[in-house]
Structure formats: structure tokens, C-alpha cells
A and B are shown apart, each in its own frame.
Chain A
Amino acid sequence: MKTRRSVLRPALLVFLLAAGVVSGVAGAVQDVPKPPAAKPAVEAAAPKEIHPTFLTPREKNGAYVFVGWIWLSIGVLLYVLRLKVKEADRVFLAGFYEDQEGGKEPAKHA
């Protein structure tokens, strides 16, 4: 009995070793390097962020002139409006609207 066990153990070890070697060799054979992936014929353009900008120097100058003109106009219009406000207030306080149908006299909120 003892003799049989002593024969079987080395035989099992040899079998396992052989199986390991065989499977290792088989694995190495299967690890064939993959061929490089074919490059696309036309590479897709990388997505870009679009920053707002003037299309032409003329447009750029135009925008600057426009902003300047806008603020100049606002300044002039504010001056004119100030005069108009003063005039409207003067007319109102003089009681001009009292004469008009449906017009109001200087009202007081209680």
C-alpha cells in the first residue's frame, strides 16, 4: 500500500508539471501579436471650440464705431430727455393738464 502511494505521488507531480508546461506553451503560441489597426482613410477633425469673433477687419472696426456711436447717441438723447423731463414737470406743476379732458391736477397720495 505504502509502495503504491509512493509511486502515484511522483507520477501525479510529473503529470501536473507536464500539463502546466503544455498549457503554458499553448498560451504562448496563442498570444500572437495583433496586427496594427488600420488607420481611417481620413482622420476625423478634432472638435473645436468656436470663439466669437469678427469675420473681417471691416466688421471689427464697424462694431467699435457702432459702440462709440451708440454711447454718443445715448449721451445726446439723455441730455434731450432731461430737457423734456424738466419741461413736462413744469407743465404738470403749472396745472396745464387740469384744462384737458380727463387730465389730472398735481396729485397727492394720502
Chain B
Amino acid sequence: MKKIRTWLDDRLGLEALSRFGMNKEVPQHGHTIWYYTGSSILLFLGIQIVTGVMLALYFNPTIKDANASVGRIMTEIPLGWIIRSIHSWSATFMIGLVLIHLLSIAFTKAYRPPREATWMTGVLLLCVSLAFGFTGYLLPWDDLSLAATKVGTDIPKAIPVVGTWVTSLLRGGEDVTGDTISRFFIVHVCVLPLAIFAVLGIHLFLVQRHGMSLPLEAERRKETLQSLPFWPNFMLREAGVWLVLLGALLTTAIFLAPSLGPAANLMSPAPPGIKPEWYFLFMFQTLKLFPSRILGINGELVAVAVMAAGFFLVLILPFLDNRPAERKGRIITGVVYATFAYTIAMTIWSLL
């Protein structure tokens, strides 16, 4: 056993990895619990990859077979519906954790210098995660997914000059068709994974480079905080969190598995009560609130402009609030709380 370990260490440098883990410090304080969200996202990303590969073995991304192949996965392949359910639920868990992670960074103001780039890559990772959700929603090709994708891909049309072209690029034509499924499938299994690995690599590098952030209060008071080595002390605690999350995921996936609607009919009208996935509901409800025309301008264009501006402000948040630790930045904190409350309220309203 020792010989194997030495052989592996000579080739892979495992000892150096272990030393790196022991050198890496994790501060211990009242907000330490938020540190666990980052690694838990990685856990769910791993589950997404494994279950996604398993589903791709049987999925057929054509207009004729997409729905039938998902139906086959659910009814003929042993435990296929559980794999599909785990894939679907781990996406929900992952996006939920990404949002919690982002909010925890926003509330603790961990985006302040020198961590601006870490925040921006984190926001990009959220976008990639949402894109995963959007492209994956169409793949079962049922009435609901078709209608929701039509609504979603219609939104860019409101943008002047390039809007129609963007919609056409997303759909692979003027309307959502079989070409859209092929396009979304390729983006879902090839383009987005490459994007997430690239941005995640930069994000993790930046986290290592700048270390874990400290609570604002501690930095302001120049408090001395106890810290633990990442390996093994923090990793053992993290393993406990992973175990509980895994148990929750498996239980949810088995008892609340998603169903599959009948194959989408391109000629049939949109079914009543179409809704996107929960993480798009606040945008969906916001779009519904805007009137068709505002001061003579297309209401949808105004809504898209407002949401794009909101996203841009989130992206550049570290440059809007780059005060030293001594300053609390109460206004920005208030805006973050208000945005959070608005998102929750719109989501609940959309569900009612």
C-alpha cells in the first residue's frame, strides 16, 4: 500500500496537494456556514454531469423522437425515471445554491476589493447555470416546454435592430422547431459545459488567490479570528453537509419525480397557464406587468431594457460599492434587500 502511495505521489504530486490543503485556511466565525454553499454547488454540478451523461445515452434530440425517447427513459429503462428526476432536481438544488451563494456574498459584502473579478465570474456562472436550465427545459419536447421556450425566445425580439436575428439564432429559424431541439441539445451538452468549466476554473483560481473573505464587522474592528486548515478539518465538516444534501436530493427525486407531458404539437395553441422554471418566474411576472406601450415605446422593450440594466448593475456591483471595510454601504445593502424581496414577491405572485 505504501509502495503504491509513493508511486502515485512521485507521478501526481499528491503530497503537494495535501500540503496545499493544510496551508489553505478557512476563517471560523458566525458566517462560516455560507462557505459551504460554494462547495455544495460543485457537488450538484458533478451529479448533473454524471446523470446528464446517463440520460444522453438514450435521449434522441429530434422533433420526432425527443418526447418518445424521454418517455422510454421513464418507462422502459430500469430506474430511468429516477435518473431523470435526480438530474432535474439537482439542477434545482444547484441553481438554488448558486442564488444563495451569490446573496450571501452580496449581504456580507465579500465582493469588495480585491474580489471584484471573483464576484463577476460568479455572476457569469449564475448566467451559465440559468442557460443550462433554459436549454434543458425544451428537451422533453412536451406542450409546456414548447410554449415556455417560444415565450423565452420571443423576448429578444423586442431589442431593436438585432432582436429578430437573436431570436432566429436561438431557434434556428423563425419558429421553435426540430432545429431548435438540436441546437438546444448541443448547447446544453457541449457549449455550456465548456463555458462553465472555463469560468469555474477562473473563479476557483481567484478564490484561492484572494482567500476566504472575512465578515465586515471583523475587518472593521480588526478582530483576530481563529482559522482552521482546509484539509482535513474543513473538508470533514463539508463532507457532512454533502451527505445531508445528497440524502435530501435522493429523497426528493424519488418521491417528487417530474412527469412528462404529451409530445408537443407545433400547430396547437399554447396550453393555458404556461410557466417557466421557478428561477425564471420573477422575470416572467415582471414581463406580464408591463403594459404593451409605455410613452409610445414598446412595453416589452422597456421591460427587457430594465432587466438588462438590472443584470448589468449586479455584474458591476463591486465597482458601485468599492468602499473600504470601515464603510458599511447601507444604501447598497438596502437595494440588495429590496431586490431580494421583489424577486421573492414576484415569484410567489406568479405561482398564485
Nearest Cβ on chain B to A71's Cβ, whole angstroms: 6
A108 proximal to B (CB < 8 A): yes
A22 to B268 CA separation, bound complex (whole angstroms): 44
B226 A106 Cβ-Cβ under 8 A: yes
Interface string of A2-20 (1 = CB under 8 A from B): 0000000000000000000
Interface string of A72-110 (1 = CB under 8 A from B): 001001100110110011001000010011111011111
Chain A's closest residue to B143 (CB) is A47
Nearest Cβ on chain B to A25's Cβ, whole angstroms: 41
Chain A's closest residue to B77 (CB) is A55
Q: Across the interface, which residues of B come within 8 angstroms of A71, CB to CB?
A: 247, 251
Known: A48-B262, A84-B236. A101 touches B19 (CB 8 A): yes
Chain B residues within 8 Å of A, Cβ to Cβ = 19, 22-23, 25, 27, 71, 74-75, 78-79, 81-82, 84-85, 214, 218, 222, 224-229, 232-233, 236-237, 239-240, 243-244, 246-247, 250-251, 254, 257-263
What number of A residues sit within 8 Å (CB to CB) of B? 35
11 inter-chain pairs at a CB distance below 8 angstroms, sorted by A residue, are A63-B82, A66-B254, A70-B246, A74-B244, A97-B229, A101-B19, A107-B25, A107-B226, A109-B27, A109-B218, A110-B224
A53 proximal to B (CB < 8 A): yes
Chain A residues within 8 Å of B, Cβ to Cβ = 47-53, 55, 59, 63, 66-67, 70-71, 74, 77-78, 81-82, 84-85, 88-89, 92, 97, 100-104, 106-110
A15 to B2 CA separation, bound complex (whole angstroms): 117
A50 B75 Cβ-Cβ under 8 A: yes
Known: A50-B71, A52-B259, A88-B232. A109 touches B214 (CB 8 A): yes
B78 A109 Cβ-Cβ under 8 A: no
Nearest Cβ on chain B to A97's Cβ, whole angstroms: 6
A55 to B259 CA separation, bound complex (whole angstroms): 15
A67 B250 Cβ-Cβ under 8 A: yes
**Interface pairs A-B: 9 shortest CB-CB:** A47-B262, A52-B257, A52-B81, A102-B19, A109-B225, A50-B260, A107-B227, A108-B224, A88-B233
Nearest Cβ on chain B to A51's Cβ, whole angstroms: 5
Chain B's closest residue to A47 (CB) is B262
Known: A81-B236, A109-B214. A52 touches B19 (CB 8 A): no
Known: A50-B259, A102-B19, A109-B227. A67 touches B25 (CB 8 A): no
Q: Across the interface, which residues of B come within 8 angstroms of A66, CB to CB?
A: 250, 254
Chain A's closest residue to B237 (CB) is A85
Chain B's closest residue to A108 (CB) is B224
Count of A-B contacts judged by CB separation below 8 Å: 102
Chain A's closest residue to B264 (CB) is A47
A56 to B110 CA separation, bound complex (whole angstroms): 51
Q: Across the interface, which residues of A come within 8 angstroms of B85, CB to CB?
A: 52
A85 to B225 CA separation, bound complex (whole angstroms): 19
Q: Across the interface, which residues of A come within 8 angstroms of B262, CB to CB?
A: 47-49
A67 B71 Cβ-Cβ under 8 A: no
Q: Across the interface, which residues of B come within 8 angstroms of A92, CB to CB?
A: 228-229, 233
Chain A's closest residue to B251 (CB) is A67
Nearest Cβ on chain A to B129's Cβ, whole angstroms: 24
B22 A100 Cβ-Cβ under 8 A: yes
B226 A104 Cβ-Cβ under 8 A: no
17 additional A-B pairs beyond A47-B262, A53-B81, A102-B23, beta carbons within 8 Å, are A48-B262, A50-B74, A52-B81, A67-B250, A67-B254, A70-B250, A74-B243, A74-B244, A77-B240, A82-B240, A100-B22, A102-B19, A103-B22, A104-B25, A107-B227, A109-B225, A109-B227
Q: Across the interface, which residues of A come within 8 angstroms of B79, CB to CB?
A: 59
Q: Across the interface, which residues of A come within 8 angstroms of B225, CB to CB?
A: 108-109
A84 to B235 CA separation, bound complex (whole angstroms): 11
A59 to B257 CA separation, bound complex (whole angstroms): 15
Chain B's closest residue to A63 (CB) is B254
Nearest Cβ on chain B to A83's Cβ, whole angstroms: 10
Instruction: Name the residue in A59, A77, A100, A108 with the highest tally of chain B Cβ atoms < 10 Å from its Cβ.
Output: A108
A63 to B240 CA separation, bound complex (whole angstroms): 23
A74 B247 Cβ-Cβ under 8 A: yes
Chain A's closest residue to B16 (CB) is A102
